[in-house]
Amino acid sequence: MVLEAAGCIENEMCLWSEVGSDEDEIPHTKELGSTELRGVKAFEAYYAAQKLTEDESIWARSFELLQTPMPPCFRVRCPEHVPGSQDEAICRAFEEWQPVKVSWAPHAFRLVSPEAVVGANGFYDEKLALALSDAQSAGHIGRQESASMLPAIALPVSGSDKVLELCAAPGSKTLQMLDNMHRRCIESSSPAESSSHVGAAIMPNGLLHSVDLSQVR
């Protein structure tokens, strides 16, 4: 629950930031269902009032980090067949953007090159955006912020588990758990089982059911 909260605050920060951050701005509201969006100053004041920490300097540093653009981050998807990790091959494909492994998240990488930051127009460089889009469309990577990866890491599902996810939107954690189930199924298979499945997928016998409000997605 705490881990999910970190991602929620991060997402909320993005929403509140849309209105602007001018110090002299008059708080605005914007219709988005029942959610009110105000300026960044109101966001800061609200969370400061929650007294999440007794040390105000910790909150000040947290607020500073919340406003820092995050580098592109992705997970290398689990291959369908027995051959092992595709991490090295994917890193070579993104070499010019300097992929760095996320130490606490298996098969996850951040692109730390100065060329990989979001531009003033709010988008990544066209070449990087195309590379990320193509790799995801091909099923090689899953675009996902590292904070979003925490819940699925904290829940160590196995290939035989039955998982019900009641809020999959847009489903990056769902795919992450699915990858984890496949990987653990492959890792737990015997050498004889692995050799008999060369060229064919080793399928977990568990179940992952996710619920998403969007039928299209």
Q: Is 79 within 8 Å of 68 (Cβ atoms)? A: no
% of the chain residues with pLDDT over 70: 73
% of the chain residues with pLDDT over 90: 25
Give the three-state DSSP class for 178: helix
Q: What is the pLDDT of residue 27?
A: 40
At position 22, the amino acid (one-letter code) is: D
- List the one residue out of 108, 120, 91, 111 whose CA is nearest residue 172: 108
Whether the pTM exceeds 0.75: the reply is no
Looking at 51-209, list the stretches that DSSP marks H as alpha helix, in order from N- to C-terminal side. 56-66, 87-93, 126-137, 146-154, 172-188, 191-196
Beta strands in the chain (DSSP E): 73-76, 99-101, 108-111, 141-143, 162-165, 207-210
- List the one residue out of 17, 1, 112, 130 whose CA is nearest residue 63: 17
Region of residue 199 (left: phi > 0; alpha: psi -120 to 50; beta: else) = left
The number of C-alpha atoms within 13 Å of 210 and in the hemisphere containing its C-beta is: 18
Q: How confident is the model over 47-75, as pLDDT tens digits?
A: 888 888 888 888 888 888 888 878 899 99
pLDDT band of residue 185 (cuts 50, 70, 90) is confident
Burial (0-12, 13-18, 19+ Cβ within 10 Å), 35: exposed
Mean pLDDT value across residues 199-208: 74
At position 211, the amino acid (one-letter code) is: V
Whether the predicted pLDDT of 173 surpasses 60? yes
According to the per-residue pLDDT averaged within each range, which of 62-76, 82-96, 128-142, 181-195 is highest?
128-142
Q: How far is it, in rounded angstroms, from Cα 122 to Cα 120?
A: 5
Q: What is the pLDDT of residue 46?
A: 86
What is the arrangement of strands in the sheet containing 99-101, beginning at the earlier edge strand?
99-101, 108-111, 73-76, 141-143
Q: How confident is the model over 10-52, as pLDDT tens digits?
A: 444 444 444 344 444 434 444 444 445 567 888 888 888 888 8
Q: What is the pLDDT of residue 49?
A: 85
